[in-house]
Amino acid sequence: MNTVAVTDASFETDVLQSSQPVLVDFWAEWCGPCKQIAPALEQIAGELGGALTVAKVNIEESPTTPSRYGVRGIPTMMLFKDGEMKSMKVGAMPKQKILDWLAESGVSAA
């Protein structure tokens, strides 16, 4: 499973109404650290595809959602479960740190 591009228009359906946890990556094309973590997020999307959706919100193309959730710096990753933001991390992290954070939040490979 690949990452899913989410916009302001699709956020409610793709993230808040999702039946499984959603890791949302708020990013921008010009952000170096965002590009740095992109391959790890793609791998995580493949490895945890049955247990987690990895969504990417481009803050330039969809500015309303990041502003609603108080995104101040990017990359910002938020974990949503049952329509609520449960946990947040700001800044680039190695893949294993992201996996550890997800496991602490109750998300791991099925």
Query: What does R_g of the chain's alpha carbons equal in angstroms?
Result: 12
Question: Does the annotation mark 78 as catalytic?
Answer: no
Whole-number Cα distances in Å, 81 to 21, 24, 34, 87 = 5, 11, 23, 9
- Give the count of beta carbons closer than 10 Å to the beta carbon of residue 37: 22
Answer yes or no: is pLDDT of 67 > 90: yes
Catalytic-role residue among 22, 23, 34, 54: 34
What is the value of pTM for the model shown?
Answer: 0.96
Average pLDDT over residues 4-15: 98
CA distance 52 to 98: 13
Q: pLDDT at residue 110 above 80?
A: no
Please state which of the four CATH numbers 3.90.1150.10, 3.90.1170.50, 3.40.50.300, 3.40.30.10 is assigned to the domain occupying 4-98.
Answer: 3.40.30.10
Q: Can you tell me the distance from the alpha carbon of 12 to that of 109, in angstroms, rounded to the nearest whole number?
A: 25
Q: In the prediction, which pLDDT does 33 show?
A: 97
Could you confirm whether 5 is annotated as catalytic?
A: no
Out of 31, 40, 41, 71, the active site residue is 31
Q: What is the pLDDT of residue 27?
A: 98
